[in-house]
Structure 1
Amino acid sequence: MTNPNEIHFRGANFDFNITESPIIYSILNLTPDSFYDGGVNTCIDQVLDRIETEMSYGAKIFELGGKSSKPHFDDISADEEWQRVEPYLKAIQKRFPNIVLAIDSNTNSVIERALQSGIQIINDIDGFNSQTKLDLVQQYHPSVVTMFNGRNFDEQSATLEDTMQSFFSETIARLKQAGLQKENIVIDPGVGFSDRNTLEFDLIKMRFTKQMRQFATPIMIAISQKSFVKRLFDADSGERLIPTLLFEAYMTQLGGRIIRVHNVKETQELIKTYQIFKDLLND
């Protein structure tokens, strides 16, 4: 029996106890236009080798993405999005039959195809805001990541925390009504998702991580290489790693437990350092 004071992230064929230590959730963008690594993963064998290496560094979950969600992204058809993902998915499942896979998609038919293909986790930047998606959740019972997408709201700094509070309360309730348990639901404050792209909003969302613990669900840290670092330090994409790691450590201290990243090896080092830090504080 699970200790009621523990926090688990559970789904089909996986159960991660994240009470004390975060886990690594690796991003595999299969798009030519992603903000950080667009066009990098262009060879199936290269991706398979990358997964094997990142598993050795402790990555537990691998997320496939067939469409960029960067600000003002160019939308594509559902068929094109799925065609980017499917060949990689089949090869990954063949080589790593026990792997835990997620898909980053807000497209109804792509989500359905992913679930039919055995993907265990759906990461929807729109927070499962349609009945079609909720019906798919009810039918397939996947685990989910539901994100607060500031582009879907009239964000105001004075009311942003209240808006996020209402969003997560309502979204978790809808997902539970569709048959999920809290340990199947990961919540993400959506740092970096704003049409106005303001640093002020991103800092509010990072601080809100502490308040998100009230929902007793796993909390995602998804700030890897985000552009708020550019606004702080005028850093291009090759210079954002150290600030990213420091902010991830801050959000981990506030309660974040699933770190969604491009840089797995460095994140493993962050987690080891975080554990040492915790031990020193407890001495």
Structure 2
Amino acid sequence: MTHICYDVPMDGGSLKLGRDPLVMGILNVTPDSFSDGGDFSAVDAAVAHADELLAEGADILDIGGESTRPGSEEVPVQEELDRVMPVLDGLAQRGIDKPISIDTYKALVADQVIQAGAKIINDVWGLQRDPEIADVAAHHGAPVIAMHWDPERDRSLDLIDEMKRWLQRSIEIALKAGIAREKIILDPGFGFAKSFEENYSLLNRLDELHSLGFPLLVGTSRKRMIGNLLDLPPKERVAGTVATSVLGYLKGGHIFRVHDVRPNRDALRVSSATLYGPPATGG
């Protein structure tokens, strides 16, 4: 399919979304994330990993201070800030010029982190857990990524129809708060309140979400949908993740949130060259 093009304005520039896929590198500064919990909870380790992600070609860094794995406990606001803010300070000292997003659903965390230099708010609850987060985004002029996570969904109804209905509520919250339409990105929420079969149905039908009129982020990295299929632990799910990224791109995805930047970036560049032709210079 031909990719729909979007220009998402943000402080200091914009995200050009279309035929050229963007890779978002995951930087979890948590002790309990499902794949890399504790690996980068120390500030020096987190900053060093950020350097690695950027060296591998990450276009965006996504920093998270609270795990959303099944069974994880909610982290108090101050504890989340205590995890995230020193890492932001370390990245600022490095002079990193790539945009940073904050993976949080809490308005107070988002407000502090945006003031500290992050550009994008990535909310796994689609602005529906703490609606004030939409006001924070509007106040700072920050783009938002609204993810689908609906544990109360009626599973007897069509998955995509129900997702559209739920995401439309997120869009309405954003617009009512004063977030510009062009600053909204949607994430279908692979793995969140979806069965094994539903995740693959969603990947196959991802292009149906384009009717909502917003760019799409695909986040399948190392998830259970891959592990259960291949019977592999999280850190051995790279090839499976790459396959889902390519399929998501072929269905019109724009941003790919991954732990392993280089293999996904390389596969997506090959996919783009196949659909649209390689760059004139060959690279």
TM-score (ref. length: structure 2): 0.90
- Give yes or no for contact 1:161–1:204 (8 Å, CA) kept in 2: no
Partner SS for 2:144? strand
Residues 85-94 or 167-176, more deviating: 167-176
Return the alpha-carbon distance in structure 1 between the equivalents of residues 276 and 98 of structure 2.
31
- Residue equivalent to 2:25: 26
Equivalent of residue 253 in structure 1, options 236, 242, 250: 250
- Give yes or no for contact 1:189–1:208 (8 Å, CA) kept in 2: no
- Residue equivalent to 1:148: 148
1:51 shift after superposition: 2.6
Return the alpha-carbon distance in structure 2 between the equivalents of residues 133 and 229 of structure 1.
32
Matched, 1:244 2:241: yes
- Give yes or no for contact 1:222–1:261 (8 Å, CA) kept in 2: yes
Return the alpha-carbon distance in structure 2 between the equivalents of residues 88 and 160 of structure 1.
38
Q: Map 1:73-222; keep pairs closer than 5 Å.
A: 73-96=72-95, 98-129=97-128, 130-151=130-151, 153-156=152-155, 158-194=157-193, 198-222=195-219
Which string of whole-angstrom CA distances, capped at 9 and with x for unpartnered residues, describes residues 187-223 of structure 1? 00011011xx521221232234201112232100100
Q: Percent identity between the aligned chains?
A: 26
Partner SS for 1:59? coil
Partner SS for 1:28? strand
Return the alpha-carbon distance in structure 1 between the equivalents of residues 135 and 49 of structure 2.
34
CA separation of 1:276/1:139 partners in 2, compared to 1, >3 Å: closer, same or farther?
Answer: closer
5+ residue gaps in structure 2? 279-283
Return the alpha-carbon distance in structure 2 between the equivalents of residues 53 and 34 of structure 1.
19
- Give yes or no for contact 1:14–1:100 (8 Å, CA) kept in 2: no
Equivalent pairs, count: 274
Return the alpha-carbon distance in structure 2 between the equivalents of residues 88 and 258 of structure 1.
23
Partner SS for 1:110? helix
Residues 23-32 or 135-144, more deviating: 135-144
- Give yes or no for contact 1:189–1:206 (8 Å, CA) kept in 2: no
- Give yes or no for contact 1:26–1:61 (8 Å, CA) kept in 2: yes
1:280 shift after superposition: 6.6
Residues 207-216 or 68-77, more deviating: 207-216
Partner SS for 1:192? coil
Partner SS for 2:24? strand
- Give yes or no for contact 2:27–2:49 (8 Å, CA) kept in 1: no
